[in-house]
Amino acid sequence: RITQVKTDIYVTSFGPVSDTEMEYTIDVFFRQSWKDERLRFKGPMQRLPLNNLLASKIWTPDTFFHNGKKSIAHNMTTPNKLLRLEDDGTLLYTMRNCVKQMMFAFGT
């Protein structure tokens, strides 16, 4: 079964840029959302934030940055991740990453 995953990126910083290495660094919040019908629930709450222990037991997409050379997830004091479950089975997974990307060569 195919799962449609929606993504968006919020860039918090851009740089440094290295002309010699043909790369740049961005700091981003990377958000993904998808629906898993098996996780639907009824109760007094419409949303449940899931802690890291529960989050580790739920399937998450294996997404990556295509031109990424290196990606580091922020883990200062605790992992900078959020997994939230809505009553209809929709999951929102947000993480903060620092990504080193390759630049495209112009004029080739």
Helices (H), 15-61: 52-55
Assigned CATH topology for domain 6-102: Acetylcholine Binding Protein; Chain: A, (2.70.170)
Considering Cα of 64, then 50, then 94, then 45, what sign does the dihedral take? positive
Grade residue 80 by pLDDT with cuts at 50, 70 and 90: confident
Query: Per-domain residue ranges for the chain?
Result: 6-102
Cα–Cα distance, 50 to 43 (Å, whole number): 16
Over residues 34-65, the pLDDT tens digits come to 999 999 999 899 999 998 888 889 998 887 66
Q: Does the model's pTM come out above 0.85?
A: no
